[in-house]
Amino acid sequence: MNIEAISSRSLADEPRPKCKVCDDPPYAAFNWKYAQENRGHAFHALFDQLKQVKSLKFGHLYACQLCGLNWFLDDARSTMTRVPHDQRDILNEWNEKQLSIEQEQLRVLDAIGGTAPNYWMGHDGVIAIPCAISTRSGERIDPAVVWITRRPPVGIFTSRIRLYQNIGAVEPSRFALPMDVRRATILAGEVSMGFAPTRVVATNGTPFILHWATSLFNQNGITGSEIRLSSKPFRRDETVTIADADLTHATYFFADWFEGAENLNKAQPKNQPYSRIRAFWRRLF
């Protein structure tokens, strides 16, 4: 198994004494089972010092016995994620609130359609839906991405994070990419370490490269509704602008996972084997 640690923007600069297991080096996430089984790895020292504090509405909260730093273990007990001190308040609020989606808003999100990005290090189990959101106080946020997930809003590399509450309306966004483009980015193969390109073209003929799972587009005055899949394949020797990632311009709204949420994933082609197998089992049960 290839285990990687995610480096964060400022993990080593958190306002507390440096911990010999949490901060040397400052891991942001690691595979819990791997740490348990591999006693010779640095992760095992972390495993030994992390003790469960309490169960959350999804997953479990742990703390380091040496420094008190909190960590989050997902429901599957697969991935342990660091909880920076400045994200403890939003973690507590996320755990205490019921972040449900009203039926009318859910119908709009279903019509837009979501994708299920298969993030590494346990960040799967997320349905991502691009949209525009109006709050009950009159604020409009566009572009926005609703994340329906069992994971708390920690360890995400953007400060534009909100909880799905006090939402007045959800609407389609002009920044959202068409579903066939979003589907292609989900299925894109990795051509080199950490790079999975999808070649697209704007309606004005300008080509771009999308990198990994992408839901939105807003670049050079061009929005997602103007983007189409390119008939030309990606070429390493071609100079094409790599589009900004969603994280650079989206605000993320975290909503609670619910039974049937997986049906909002519209990116799975109907003719793929997985879809046929899933439909078969649904017919049986």
- Residue 285 inside a domain? The answer is no
- Of residues 132 and 268, more confidence is placed in 132
**Cα 92 versus chain centre, distance:** 19
* Strand-pair category, 140-149 with 251-256: parallel
Contact 198, 181 (CB under 8 A): yes
Do 171 and 254 lie in one domain? The reply is yes
Q: By C-alpha distance, which of 34, 26, 73 is closest to 50?
A: 73
Give the per-residue pLDDT at 265.
95
Residue 231 has pLDDT above 70, yes or no: yes
Residue 184 and residue 171 share a domain: no
In a shared domain, residues 16 and 132: no
Q: Output 194 or 245, whichever has higher pLDDT.
A: 245
Residues 114/101, Cβ–Cβ less than 8 Å: no
Angle subtended at Cα 67 by Cα 61 and Cα 72, rounded to the nearest 5 degrees: 20
Q: Residue 86 corresponds to which tokens in the numbers above?
A: 């400045």
Q: What is the mean pLDDT of residues 245-260?
A: 95
pLDDT mean across residues, the chain? 88
Does the residue 282 lie in any domain?
A: no
What secondary structure does DSSP assign to 9-70, as a single string?
SSGGGSSSPPPTTTSSS--SEEEHHHHHH-TTSHHHHHHHHEEEEEE-SSSEEEEETTT--E
Same-domain pairing of 38 and 146:
no
Residues 83-111: what's their mean pLDDT? 97
Residue range(s) defining the domain that contains residue 198: 179-245
- Within a domain: residue 172? yes
Assess whether 158 and 44 both reside in one domain: no
- 194 pLDDT band, cuts 50/70/90, is confident
User: When comparing pLDDT for 124 and 232, which is higher?
Assistant: 232
**Residue 275 is assigned to a structural domain of this protein:** no
Q: What is the rounded distance in angstroms from the CA atom of residue 61 to the CA atom of residue 203? A: 48
**Pair of tokens at residue 150:** 């069992």
**113 lies in a domain?**
yes
* Rounded Cα gap, residues 197 and 241, in angstroms: 11
- Could you tell me if residue 91 is inside a domain? yes
Q: Is residue 41 part of a domain?
A: yes
Domain boundary among 96, 118, 148: 96
Q: Is residue 6 part of a domain?
A: no
**What's the one-letter identity of residue 275?**
S
> Is the separation of the CB atoms in 5 and 25 below 8 Å?
yes
- pTM (2 d.p.): 0.86
Residues 89 and 15 in one domain: yes
**Tens digit of each residue's pLDDT (9 = 90 or more) over 205-226:** 999 999 989 999 999 999 999 9
The pLDDT score that the predictor gives to residue 271 is 41
Phi/psi at 60 (5° precision): -145, 145
pLDDT tops 60 at residue 190? yes
* Residue whose token pair is 């003790």: 51
Same domain, 47 and 115: no
For residue 162, the one-letter residue type is R
Helix, strand, or coil (residue 285)? coil
Count of structural domains, the chain: 3
Looking up tokens 């994280």, which residue turns up? 247
Residue 175 has pLDDT above 60, yes or no: yes
Shared domain check, 130 and 76: no
- Average the pLDDT over 22-50 and give the result: 89
Domain match, 50 and 121 both: no
- Same-domain status, 69 and 204: no
- Within this chain, do residues 123 and 138 fall inside the same structural domain, yes or no? yes
Among the listed residues 109, 108, 72, 107, the one whose alpha carbon sits nearest the alpha carbon of residue 87: 72
pLDDT at 173 > cutoff 50: yes
pLDDT at 144 over 90: yes
